[in-house]
Structures are given as structure tokens and as C-alpha cells.
Amino acid sequence: EAGSNHAHGVAIPVTNNGALAMRACNEIIAEASEAPLREFRLTAAQTVKELDNGKSAKVWAFNGLVPGPELRVTEGDRVRIVLNNKDINEGVTVHWHGIVLPCSQDGVAGVSQNAVKPGEQFTYEFEAGYPGTYWYHSHQASSEQVKKGLLGKLIVEPKNDAFDYDEEDSLLIQQLNGTYLMNGSTKDWNIEAAPGSTVRVRVINAANETDTVSVNGAAYRIIAMDGHDLNEPGLLDNYEFQMGAGQRYDLLLQIPQQGKVIVASKKSGLKATLGTGSDPVISSDPSLFSFVDYGKPVSDKSKARLSFDRNYSVTLDQNLFVNTINGKSFHEIPPMMVEEGDHVKITITNAGGGDHPFHLHGHVFRVLSRNGQPLSGSPVYLDTLLTQKGEAFEVHVIADNPGLWMMHCHDLMHASMGMSMMFNYE
Ligand code: C2O
Ligand code: CU
């Protein structure tokens, strides 16, 4: 069976012994709990989607929808999702991007499970531990299956929100076989919001490329990155920011008494309009958000760690169309080995070949520095780090979730062409 699993389009097993790998993952089972149970059903099937631009597209959809249904739960809930595959011959899985869960529920074909074949079913169960904005997608031949439509939003609402707002909505940007969609549409999105009201906008970059997002018509705050709240984030005005593939940014803004607010995705050319009235003045010279002014330190306790149990480096590059990590591609890359409890520092360098949004499964990491400069404001916790050519970051991972985990570029083409490796516990 192992030969039919393709985490990104390249054949798994990732170790020399796929069966052994899978057993190691499955030994780690979810703990029983008394938390409220939320149940969902996702059925993957081929279908045709009528686009708003008059065209139709052959897609692979969850429950007939592209994107799939939004899954919305509350922090602490027990979430159970029954996945069925109707007719996707190569099989499907669901990976819960950004969620910290037991390895056996991570949905990676060939690592934590075999791909679910037509007529088969798999039940995922995990606790929605950290509130935030997430998404889900197939992790069998993901470079193909995500662009065919097998993805959706996953929102974990906080029990107690650190921020006040009147409305919330989310914008999922994806490429469906190359066509950009916002919330499943080729048209602009509209968010109804009264003048003076405060709105939280969850932006999910589910496309394969870096996007530049601009906000016009109101000053705004970036309140969370990859689902993790920032501490006292500052008010941004006339700023744009970049989002790597796979990343999520939550925005908080207030609708003016007169006029609209526009949140625009430059890559897709699509935008969301909030409120009514006249269009905002679009300033021509926004400054690019430079990873600096996103909030304040929390306390001495949260001071970035300086010494580590393990130090690793990963250099992301492209040679002759082969995407490499430390000069090697997927099957040749030794796993990054850790022991439970380790504090691990990973230095991530982008040596070329495009933007590389680096994603680690099953963990959250803290960004320590960028190009040798320590981050000075709010602690930043991510599961996907956008790196651009020439940049080097240091991140801190606490090895607190035993199992076998993938680490890869979330440009899924790059991942399928070799820019993937494992983060494994001894
Ligand atoms: Cu969002 Cu390994 O993926
Ligand atoms: Cu890449």
C-alpha cells in the first residue's frame, strides 16, 4: 500500500520503512475527554463547479463544495470528522493545517495513514486546543489535490476573546486549477457591517503563492498570525503586508461613519468590501509591513530563549529544477531528530528559487530573529514562515508532541519537487 501514498505528489514512504513509520505514529492515540463533541462529515468526490465568471471547472470537492464546508468549533471542543471518499481514485486524506494534534490524526498519506480509497472511510478525532484561524486540505498528492479543490476553512473560536468586535468574516484565497477565487468566487466579496462597527477579518492564503494584502479606508491591526494572538498590536495605516502560502492573518478594523473599507488581495486581484458609502481613497504608496511593528513584549517570562538542546539548519534552494533542503531532496534528507522535551533552534535560510513558506506539522514555533536581528515586539508564533530570497530566520520549537511530522515548503509544487523533510522523535 505504501507505494500508493503521495504526500505531495512524490511517492512516500519517507523513511525506508513506511509501515514502521506508520505504526510509530499510530501508537500515539488521542486521550479520552469530557469536552463537547462536534461531529462533521466530509465526502470527497469529483464534480463540476460553475464559476461566477460563466466558466465551469472540473473539481474535486468536499461535500460538493469548493472550498469545502467551513468547520467552526470552539476552543476545547472534541472534533470528530468522518472522511469518505466517493470516487477519487488515488485516494484522499485531510490534514488540519496548523492544528496541534496527535500524530495519528495529522492526515498525511504514507506517514500517519494510508490514503483513503474510493468507498473507504477514515475518522479523525482531536481536541481543538488553540483558538484561531486554520484550514484543512488533502495531504495525498497535495500539489494536485489542493488545486483541484480539496480544502476548506477551519475556525476555532476562542472561549474568551482577547479582542472585541461586532462582526467577523473570513476570506479564503485559493487557486482552483490556476484560477484565483476568494471564498469560492471569481467575484469580489462583500461583508455587511454597520458604520462605526468593529470587524474581525480572518484572511487565509490557501493559494500556492505569496500574496500582498492591502487595507484601505480604515486603520487596522493585525491581531493574530497563523491563529496566534499578537500582544497589543499597533494600529497600521497605509500598510500592506505579505502572506506566504498557507499562512493566516486576522485583521481588526473599524468601519468609518462614511465610506467603505476595502481589503484587497493583490495576487488574485480580488477584494472584499466592508460597509457602504463611497469608495476609500486608495493611496498609491503603501509601506510594506516589515515584520517589525506588530505589538509589544508580554513579560520577562516570554523572553526569547537563548540556549537550546539542539540546533539545526535548513537551507532552502533550487538547483536545476530540483527543490532542495541542505542540497538534498526529500528522500535523501535525513530526518531532523528530536527527543521529547527538547528546545530546538532551527535556522531557516532561503538561498533562492522563489519564496519558500516553511511549514512544520503538529507544532507551533516562535520566531526569534530575522536576518540576525532579534524580534523585539510581541512574541510571534507561527506554523508557516514566509522566507524570501536571502533571508535567514531563527525559530524555536518545543518538542512536545511526539511522532513523525512533515516539514516542507508550502509552495506545494516545491514540496512535491523535493523541498520536504521529516521532524521525528527518537
Ligand atoms: Cu498545509 Cu503539509 O501542509
Ligand atoms: Cu518553496
186 conformational bin, left if phi > 0, alpha if psi -120 to 50, beta if neither = alpha
Q: Is the distance from CB of 214 to CB of 243 less than 8 angstroms?
A: no
Whole-angstrom distance, CA of residue 132 vs CA of residue 229: 8
Residue 415 CA, closest ligand 1 atom number: 2
Rounded to the nearest angstrom, the distance between the alpha carbon of 329 and the centre of ligand 2 is: 12
pLDDT for the residue numbered 144: 95
Cα distance between residue 143 and residue 146, in whole Å:
6
pTM: 0.94
Which atom of ligand 1 lies nearest, measured to the CA of 406?
A: 2
- The ligand that comes nearest to the alpha carbon of residue 325 is 2
For residue 419, which ligand has an atom nearest its CA?
A: 2
**3-state SS of the chain: helix, strand, coil percent to 5?**
10, 45, 50
Question: Residues lining ligand 1, CB < 6 A?
Answer: 95, 97, 137, 139, 246, 359, 361, 406, 408, 410
Task: Compute the distance from residue 196 Cα to the ligand 1 centre, in Å.
Answer: 38
Q: Are strands 343-350 and 310-319 parallel, antiparallel or unpaired?
A: parallel
- Centre of ligand 2 from the C-alpha of residue 354, in Å: 6
Atom of ligand 1 at shortest distance to CA of 108?
A: 2
One-letter identity of residue 406: M
> Ligand 2 center to residue 372 CA distance, Å?
21
pLDDT at 27: 64
Closest Cα to atom 1, ligand 1: which residue? 97
Containing H/E element for 308?
Answer: none
Minimal CA–CA distance to 413: which of 142, 12, 92, 136? 142
Kindly identify the ligand whose nearest atom is closest to the C-alpha of 353: 2
Relative to the CA of 137, which ligand 1 atom is closest?
1
Question: Which ligand approaches the C-alpha of residue 384 most closely?
Answer: 1
What pLDDT score was predicted for residue 253?
96
Which domains, ranges and CATH numbers included, belong to the chain?
2-157 (2.60.40.420), 167-288 (2.60.40.420), 300-425 (2.60.40.420)
How far apart are the C-alpha atoms of 94 and 109, rounded to whole Å? 9
Over the chain (426 residues), what is each successive 10-residue block's mean pLDDT? 57 45 63 84 98 96 98 96 97 98 94 95 94 97 96 96 93 97 97 95 97 93 95 87 96 94 96 91 68 71 84 94 92 95 98 97 96 90 97 97 96 95 94
The secondary structure element, H or E, covering residue 20 is helix 18-26
Nearest ligand 1 atom, CA 246: 1
Q: What is the pLDDT of residue 290?
A: 55
Protein residue closest via CA to atom 3 of ligand 1: 97
Q: How far is the CA of 361 from the centre of ligand 1 (A)?
A: 7
What pLDDT is stored for residue 3 in this prediction?
40
Distance 295 CA to ligand 2 centre (A): 28
